A = this chain, B = another copy of it.
Amino acid sequence: MAKNNEKEIGITVTKKDNFSEWFSQVVIKAELVDIRYGVQGCIVHMPWAMKIIRLIYTKIEEKVEEDEHDPFLFPTLIKQENLLKEEEHAGFTPEVFWITKGGNTTLEEPLALRPTGETQIYPMYSLWLRNHNQLPFKRYQSRHTVFRNEMTTRPFLRGREFLFFETHNMYKNHDDTLIQIKKDLEMMKELFWDEWKIPFKFFVRPQWDKFLGADNTYVTDTLMPDGKRNQMSSTHDLGINFAKAFNIKFKDENQKEKFAHQSCWGPGIWRLMAGLIAIHGDDQGLILPFSLAPYQIVIVPITFSKNQELNEKIINKCIEIKKQLSNLYRVHLDLRDEKSPGFKFNDWEMKGVPIRIELGPKDLENNQITISRRTIKEKSQINFDDIINKINLETKKFQKEIETRSTEYFADNTRNATTLEEIKKIISTFRGFVKIPFCSIETGEECANLIKAETQGAYVCGEEWPNSEDTPKGSLCPVCGKSAKKYVYIAKSY
């Protein structure tokens, strides 16, 4: 907001090598959040973040609606008795915020702020579900927030209030549950990877680390540049555990009462933001995948000249190009009078806009625009007549570049180990994922604990799912020495 150009052009972040500091700076300098709100773990989402987040939500909503999920919205407040009903699930209660007063009056019964939807939604499912022909029954809630009294908090990684999305489905049987869990995975592949180029692995988690109340928990884990895993979603196979606790039953084809099978899926909006920022970003700031960029193309007129007539011509041409491109792309023409072109370049680089168009006196003279992709330093020129075709090519190159980078980044940070020594060495030097043969994610808790202790915190993320052909034939668990039927991945974690 300063008018001093030198100061303005100085919008920079620290090098990304210093990841933790880089992340803290970039969320502020790209104007994603303001952390000065004054309540721990609660941030202000700024316009640039809200526009990205809206695109994320809209895409996920479209996907689940194509897959016949209907939207609903539950209150933020939960009755105490419901939260306590599912005993295994009550593991959340140490983290729950309680409302005890309305005005100056103490409430008869305290109300909880929703930590997640299960205990508020399933009492209603017990009222709604009657008959097998209602199944599968697929619903979701979106764009709401949940609350957890976390001790350490960080924007987009861990908050006391954070943005949520959750599906809650019911089925006739466990086969149908698994069909949906595969569909959930498919949707994530199509969005997280195909569109947004965030690499991930899909794991079934060890039994000792699943969601309380679930038979199995599945997660998508990506890696952050500091080598720690970032869990971007969880899918819970709830079996009939909640159905029993909340009495959710249906009459089958033979009029026999049965408990409903259930699953729920929650892509983490914050964790996706953290992944996007951390994996694509560079020393100049954010790099946004094309479909999530609020502005996909920004046009900066170069009007250094004192010749007002010329400046007007330049701006008119920019308006014309914006109009031409706006049918296909989200285009922004930056006409801020008080900012220099240099400031604008830095600003849009920091904010991660994929493609920048410049148009100055020389460009106008040569019937051309100057273009640069956020992924490379070089500029190139495009003739006015050829803009649509060439920009189309540029967008494809841009997506390809972030895909290649992400692929290499993920491969480079995934290593194999077969002994505890190797594991320790990798974790202490490179971090990232370590793929190891492992005795069992059912019964191997002691081995996992020992790995954790020896590595100061590396953690069994789980087995890749659905089961791959890639099995560690003849290999042994590096801890207990028992035969290893499967590989697991280990990593340090947020």
Contacts and interface: CB of A to CB of B under 8 A. Distances in A.
Interface of A: 1, 3, 34, 36-39, 42-47, 50-51, 54, 70-79, 82, 93-105, 110-111, 113, 120, 123-124, 127-128, 130-131, 133-134, 139, 143-145, 147, 149, 160-161, 338
Given A39-B79, A127-B36, A161-B77, A72 B44 contact: yes
Contacts of A123: 38
B37 A74 contact: yes
Contact of A100 (B73, B75, B94, B98): B98
Nearest to A163: B73
B143 A143 contact: yes
Contacts of A36: 124, 127
Contacts of A39: 75, 77-79, 111
A101 B103 contact: no
19 contacts: A1-B130, A3-B131, A34-B124, A39-B75, A47-B72, A47-B139, A50-B72, A51-B71, A76-B76, A76-B113, A76-B161, A95-B102, A97-B102, A98-B100, A99-B99, A99-B100, A102-B149, A103-B149, A133-B338
A96 B104 CA distance: 9
A338 B102 CA distance: 47
A103 B99 contact: no
Contacts of A42: 75-77
Copies of this polypeptide in the complex:
2
Nearest to A131: B1
Contacts of A3: 131
B37 A75 contact: yes
A104 B94 CA distance: 7
A147 B97 CA distance: 15
A472 to B, nearest CB: 42
B103 A100 contact: no
Contacts of A139: 47
A72 B52 CA distance: 11
Contacts of A96: 102-103
Nearest to A121: B44
Contact of A75 (B43, B94, B128, B338): B43
B97 A98 contact: no
A37 B77 CA distance: 10
A127 B36 CA distance: 9
Nearest to A70: B47
Contacts of A54: 71
A146 to B, nearest CB: 10
A293 to B, nearest CB: 16
A105 B144 CA distance: 25
Contacts of A72: 44-47, 50
B100 A101 contact: yes
Contacts of A111: 39, 97
A113 B99 contact: yes
A164 B144 CA distance: 12
Contact of A73 (B50, B99, B128, B131): B50
A126 B78 CA distance: 35
A71 B100 contact: no
Contacts of A76: 42, 76, 113, 145, 147, 161
Contacts of A75: 37, 39, 42-44, 161
